[in-house]
Amino acid sequence: MTHQTTDILLTTLNARYRHAAIGLRYLRANLQELQPRSRIIEFDISQRPLDIAEIILAQKPQIVGISLSIWNISPSSQLIRLLKRINPSLVVVLGGPEVSHEQEQQPIITLADYVVAGEGEVAFLTLCRQLLAGTPPPNRQIQAPLPDLNQLTLPYREYTAEDIAHRVIYVEASRGCPYRCAFCLSALDDQVRSFPLAPFLEEMAHLLDRGVRQFKFMDRTFNLKIESATTILDFFLHRPERDIFLHFEVVPDRLPEAIRQRIAQFPQGGLQLEVGIQTFNQTVLSRIGRKQENEKSEENLKWLVQQSHAHIHADLILGLPGESLESIQASFDRLVKINPQDIQVGILKRLRGTPIVDHAAPFNLLFNPDPPYDLLSSDTLDFPTLQRLRRLARYWDLIGNSGRFSAFRHHLIQRPSPFEDFLHLSDWLFATTGRTHKIALMRLFELVYQGMMEVMQVDQQKAASLIKKEFRASGRGEPPPFI
């Protein structure tokens, strides 16, 4: 282990190693004269807090900045307790979305010396200057002012060669969202703020020159401003590199011809679009403040699936205020028949600070008090029903989104209600196995085969034919022994 003194150490526990925390890189890129005295060391939630504490303390930092999110709050709490127990003089500064709201309700706040809420690039620099000068501010809780994006130093030079070789490279051309969806933290934004395009694209060119080929854009509404979106798409389309992959989150009902023309030019494997449908129930959409033209969204999705090479990742949220099982069924069936490659089915969460809390009492929304703060029951969905929906979401990932059961999925889409069939199949899968994880692939093939016959009343010859197609598509050759 290398023992190196670092006055300011920036860290977090990522969900997985391959995720790189762009927030830490923004902080370090904007430390100005303090940057040489700083360092980023990232961990992931599979590592033991005791081992992480050892690595951090070996750097002998004066200040440790820790970024907190919904997935790392529990191990981070353990880590902070260890750091302060071993070295009480260490100054621990917290930031990130998990501690930017409802601070008075969080025990982790009492463990730290300072908390920076909001976009912290400017506020963290000011705090570090004060601490290192021996003039600490009197207030432990600091509300960061919104930084001027024209004045921020972009963070992309902070990605290391190891990051480029092994990790997801996150970038952003804008911050904020004009919509006010009650379940989303972006509902708190006042406006969409854009980075100056010329220096941003210069940094993208530099990343490409360093070997980056996959870019995950963090913009919440990439296609909101058509001119900037087309400029960015044109930039990548005109690059000489042919193996570029881009991920964007797009507004489903906003796909004008200028955007379509450019999307159509991307080759297979070059573009992934995350499309947040959430629900097709217009009453529920209005209730949560989400503006969405359903017919236009459906038309755009069909065009993307049928007329482009883009990989479409569509989102549904189950448990929105007042939404019944029948309404969920209608949205799922409508979306699955459009047939995007991925349908991410998620249970509603109460992220700290989001306006969804305003609907809790009127619709009896009961949320898990611990991360991920997911819905436990509502006036229209009791706890057993939500447990069924959780299992449906998990089995859909294993089967519907895996790419290994395309013949089964095609058959499912042709049936009157894919949701009803798959919900009953997921009930049977759980009753048969007692688990939603760690199911061997061969066993899963066998379960789908049996479930088609026992639950969906598919005749044996048809079920066997579908499974044989899955086997041939996966390169396994001979039919499985259970047929």
Do the strands 63-67 and 174-175 form a parallel or antiparallel pair, or are they unpaired? unpaired
For residue 409, the tally of other CB atoms under 10 A from its CB is 22
Predicted pLDDT at 481? 85
Distance from C-alpha of 293 to C-alpha of 291, rounded to nearest angstrom: 7
Q: What is the pLDDT of residues 187-246, one digit of tens each?
A: 777 689 999 999 999 999 999 999 999 999 999 999 999 999 999 999 999 999 989 999
Q: Are 362 and 401 in contact (CB under 8 A)?
A: no
- Decide if pLDDT at 164 tops 60: yes
pLDDT of residue 38: 98
- The pLDDT assigned to 173 comes to 97
Band (475; pLDDT cuts 50, 70, 90):
confident
Helix, strand, coil in percent for the chain, rounding step 5: 45, 15, 40
86 vs 1: which has the higher pLDDT: 86
How far apart are alpha carbons 155 and 145 in whole angstroms?
Answer: 19
Contact of 156 with 171, CB cutoff 8 Å: yes
Q: What is the mean pLDDT of residues 443-453?
A: 96
Residue 330 token pair: 């209608």
The pLDDT of residue 479 is 80
Q: Regarding predicted confidence, which is higher, 308 or 470?
A: 308
Summarised one tens digit per residue, pLDDT across range 329-346 is 999 999 999 999 999 999
The secondary structure of 358-415 as a DSSP string is GGTTTTT-EE-SSTT-BEEE-SSS-HHHHHHHHHHHHHIIIIISSSS-HHHHHHHHTS
pLDDT band at 1 (very low <50, low <70, confident <90, very high): very low
What are φ and ψ of residue 255, in 5° steps? -140, 70
DSSP state of 349: B
Q: What is the average per-residue pLDDT within 37-44? A: 97
Beta-bridge mates of residue 13 = 43
Element (H, E) at 175: strand 174-175
Tell me the pLDDT band of 178, cut-offs 50, 70 and 90.
confident
Q: What is the mean pLDDT of the chain?
A: 95
Cα end-to-end distance, the chain, whole Å: 54
pLDDT band at 58; cut points 50, 70, 90: very high
Instruction: With H, G, I as helix, E, B as strand and everything else as coil, classify residue 146.
Output: coil
Q: What is the mean pLDDT of residues 382-396?
A: 98
- What mean pLDDT do residues 283-287 have? 96
- Output the CA–CA distances (angstroms, integers) from residue 34 to 29, 37, 124, 142, 433, in the order listed: 10, 5, 11, 20, 56
- Alpha-carbon separation of residue 395 from 141, 437, 466 (angstroms): 42, 9, 18
pLDDT one-digit tens code per residue, 253-275: 999 999 999 999 999 999 999 99
Give the strand pairing for 311-318 and 271-278: parallel
Q: What is the pLDDT of residue 3?
A: 47
Q: Is the pLDDT of residue 4 over 60?
A: no
Give the separation between CA 112 and CA 80, rounded to whole angstroms.
Answer: 7
User: What pTM was estimated for this model as a whole?
Assistant: 0.93
**Beta-strand relationship, 271-278 and 174-175:** unpaired
Give the pLDDT mean for 434-458.
96
Taking residues 54-70, report their average pLDDT: 97
Share of the chain above pLDDT 90, in %: 92
Show the tokens assigned to 478: 């001979």
